[in-house]
Amino acid sequence: MKHPAANPRSTEYALAVSELRYRRLFETAQDGILILNAENGQIDDVNPFLTDMLGYSRAQLLGNKLWEIGPFKDVEASKAEFRELQREAYVRYEDLPLETSAGKAINVEFVSNIYQVNGDRVIQCNIRDITKRKRAEEKLKAYSRQLQVLSRRLVAAQETERRNIARELHDEIGQALTVIQLNLQAILHAPETETISPRVKESLEVVDQVLEQVRDISLNLRPLILDDLGLEPALRWFTKRQAALVGLRVRFHADPLKHRLSLVIENECFRVAQEALTNVVRHAHAKTVTVELRKEAGKLHLRVRDDGVGFDVGAVREKAVRGASLGLLSMEERAALAGGGLELKSTPKKGTEVHAWFPLKWQPPVTEPPSS
């Protein structure tokens, strides 16, 4: 007669096969596994991966309480966590610092569950070494911080260069063209220049056009009002200027700012508004544009809303990622570099809102030099 345990259909045989499969998985798992008695925290079993990870032999671990072994040497914390596990039946730590038998610090992901085995409650702890992953994440964060520093310096250098070029255009080239304009007007009105009058008129028209172009380029590069008077006057002026290009109605609201904001905040907030308003003029086909500058919960909030045709934000973002349109990414990057953020809302045929926020950082007060 065949023994029941050898019968593939018997319960005993199925249980034996199941236990064998579990044991194979337990022994070959690439995560550490710790089996505890759920009543007293005693270690009943460990797999080879865990002993290799911690540097303790199986004999050193078995029979001890969880808080009696080196890696979990913070007794009170380990006992408290064990009690929590008994109460909640599930504990998870994304980043738990441990120490191996050789004194090496490691970081692990720790997940514990309680379940029944032959009527007894046991705790299975899965322990994954995330030390390399954490180091890689820390390196990535360090690189990201370095990139942000470089980006801020690049933006600051760009703004400085724009300011210098704008002032050069305004002060030097603009003034020179103005002198030429006045001289041509004087020649045009002189009685003895009737024969050259048509050419003088033509030259005067060209000078007028070039002078207007120089002023536009200078203002687009860096409006001097931003440096001289600050963010709110510059934003109010630019909004009206852009709206006039396509006949938009303007609603402008700004909370009073007692002091000048830091140059970084003024620069980035203005550039975000500049990009948003330029997009309204070029693409929105709107009738009204609303610009708000508010102080809320310790932050400066910029909102640019229009009642235009709107668009699919997801599709535009996908194009931006592919490099087809950098306006959205530019606004997001500028807000982030200044320590803030940006949110874009748009619905086809229902308009668009650009909402950016920045920390309220002020320019340091100007101290008067001591009198002699």
Q: How much is the pLDDT for 367? A: 59
Q: How much is the pLDDT for 198? A: 79
Q: How far apart are CA 241 and CA 104, in angstroms?
A: 64
CATH superfamily of 31-129: PAS domain (3.30.450.20)
Of residues 74 and 276, more confidently modeled:
276
Task: Identify the bridge partners of residue 356 per DSSP, sorted by sequence position.
Answer: 302, 342
Banded model confidence at residue 178, pLDDT cuts 50, 70, 90: confident
Same fold, 31-129 and 225-363: no
| Side-by-side strand order, sheet with 43-46 | 43-46, 32-37, 120-129, 105-117, 90-99
Q: What CATH topology corresponds to 225-363? A: Heat Shock Protein 90 (3.30.565)
Q: What does the CA dihedral 271, 276, 282, 286 come to, rounded to 10 degrees? A: -150
DSSP of 3-53: -GGG-TTSHHHHHHHHHHHHHHHHHH-SSEEEEEETTT-BEEEE-HHHHHH
Residue with tokens 């200027």: 241
Q: How much is the pLDDT for 73? A: 65
Backbone angles phi, psi at 247, to 5 degrees: 70, 40
> Residue 330: how many CB atoms within 10 A of its CB?
14
Q: How much is the pLDDT for 295? A: 95
- The domains of the chain are located at 31-129, 131-222, 225-363
> Residue 356: how many CB atoms within 10 A of its CB?
26
Give the mean pLDDT of 269-295. 94
Q: How much is the pLDDT for 303? A: 97
**pTM for the whole structure:** 0.59
Q: How much is the pLDDT for 314? A: 87
Task: Identify the bridge partners of residue 256 per DSSP, sorted by sequence position.
Answer: none
Q: How much is the pLDDT for 96? A: 82
> Which of 225-234, 285-294, 315-324 tops mean pLDDT?
285-294
Cα 73 to the chain's mean position, in Å?
39
Give the mean pLDDT of 273-288. 94
Which region, left, alpha or beta, applies to residue 55 given φ > 0 means left and ψ of -120 to 50 means alpha?
A: left
Percentage of the chain modeled with pLDDT above 90: 28
| pLDDT at position 371 over 80 | no
Least confident stretch, 119-133, 259-273, 311-325: 311-325
Banded model confidence at residue 207, pLDDT cuts 50, 70, 90: confident
Sorted by sequence, the CB contacts under 8 Å of residue 284 that are 6+ apart come out as 306, 308, 309, 310, 351, 352
Least confident stretch, 47-56, 70-79, 278-287, 351-360: 70-79
